[in-house]
Amino acid sequence: MSSRDILSDEESDALREQDAALVEDAPAPAGGVRDLHADHWERIVSDRVPALESISERMVSLLKTTGRRFFRDSVEVSASRSRPQRWGAYARQLAVPTSLNVIRIKSLDLKGVICLEPDFVFTLVDIFFGGTGAGTRSLDHVDFTPMETRLVQKFVMAVTLDMKQAWRPFMDLDIELGATESNPIFASVAAGADTVSVSGFTFTLGEKELSMEIVLPATIVEPIRYLRDSAGIDGSNADSQKWQARLQEDVQDADVTLRAILTEMPIRLRELAMAKPGDVIPTDIPSTVTIFADHQAVMTGTFGVSKGQNSVRIDEPANRRLLGEKYGRRKKD
């Protein structure tokens, strides 16, 4: 006997659509127990979870780099708000075939799945073999080829590394990549009635939009739902200041190529074309010489000779704001 024989979908929806405030906000009678709403755990996920929003923002930034590496072009990535859904309902609405890549979170003994639509898989393979990715996958192919599966696994492995980095401020995820399936029956990560959290990401490649969804058990959201940011967890504010100081020091110690223009003078093209060997173009060397890094003026100095070689003596920075406090910017007292 199936669950539908006991309770129809209409009856289930009617039970879940009752006013939650009347159930949960009403005080329990003395010595009694307050009733638990049938949709309690699903609504926990649907509430705004600042940690999930922060994780999505981190994922968008990381996936742009991953997408550029695999698609060999700049890719715009956008995230949709995480939504709760019953695993059974989610699996039924998947297109056939869909690349379902099972991941195992060993630290929590939970399973998730990374879903790629067929066009996503086709574009990966097409670009890998030198195509533009502008075409679409033929509907005649029901299963994915070994080459498609192999490329998808490489891409999903990169996505799991991005997930580890995005979740690290809140939770350490030890992710292991499992099998790749095209049938939800063989890629089941939860019971049909269990709630999962679905996070969608859209990759925009030119005029083409490709969808990827990361499905995780709703129980993974509960430990982080009250966390506002990562500053109170791992002292990331102090780490950020250290990172900024280290980056500033490394940038200031970077090697750059300098060039100096000793003089410039206007001349007609006719005069230049008529010039012959031995002709002299009179010039005046200015008292101040500007030194450039690429096309940006950085120093001013005086032209001269040092140790038998032409040189420029540095007088002052040309742009104190550009050079920073190590070279020219005055430190605040």
pLDDT at 31: 59
Q: Is the pLDDT of residue 115 over 60?
A: yes
Instruction: Quote the CA–CA distance of 85 and 90 in Å, as a whole number.
Output: 6
pLDDT attached to residue 155? 93
Check residue 235 and give its pLDDT. Answer: 47
Q: Using the CB atoms, write b or e for 229-266: b if 16+ within 10 Å.
A: ebeeeeeeeeeeeeeeeeeeeeeeeeeeeeeeeeeeee
Query: CA–CA separation, 243 vs 237, rounded Å?
Result: 10
Which pLDDT score is estimated for 62? 92
Token output for 206: 């030119």
Give the integer Cα–Cα distance in Å for 167 and 216.
13
CB 78 within 8 A of CB 60: yes
Element (H, E) at 329: none
Q: Which sequence spans correspond to the domains of the chain?
A: 12-38, 47-239, 254-263+283-333
Helices (H), 7-49: 9-16, 20-24, 40-46
pLDDT confidence band for 328 (50 / 70 / 90): very low
294 pLDDT band, cuts 50/70/90, is confident
* 11-20, 134-143, 170-179, range with the lowest pLDDT: 11-20
Selected residue with higher pLDDT from 17 and 59: 59
In the predicted structure, residue 166 carries a pLDDT above the cut 80: yes
Q: Which CATH number fits domain 47-239: 3.40.1410.10, 1.25.40.20, 3.40.1550.10, 3.40.640.10?
A: 3.40.1550.10
β-strands 83-86, 309-317: how paired?
unpaired
**Is a pLDDT exceeding 60 seen at residue 194?**
yes
Give the three-class secondary structure for 31. Answer: coil
196 near 88, Cβ under 8 Å?
A: no
Whole-structure pTM value? 0.54
pLDDT given for residue 232 in this prediction: 42
For the chain, what is the radius of gyration of the CA atoms?
31
CB atoms within 10 A of CB 98: 21
Nearest in space to 213 (alpha carbons), one of 35, 36, 41, 82 = 82
The mean predicted confidence, pLDDT, of the chain is 77
Which pLDDT does position 6 carry in this prediction?
Answer: 61
- At 160, the pLDDT band (50, 70, 90 cuts) reads very high
- Residue 234 pLDDT level (bands cut at 50, 70, 90): very low
Map 104-120 to HEC letters. EECCCCEEEEEEECHHH
Beta strands at 110-116 and 208-217: parallel, antiparallel or unpaired: antiparallel
Q: What is the pLDDT of residues 56-113, one digit of tens each?
A: 889 999 999 999 989 888 889 998 888 888 888 888 888 778 888 988 888 788 888 9
Q: Is the pLDDT of residue 241 over 80?
A: no
- For residue 329, the model assigns a pLDDT of 46
Cross-sheet strand order for the sheet of 289-293 = 258-261, 289-293, 296-306, 309-317
Band of residue 205 on the pLDDT scale cut at 50, 70, 90? confident
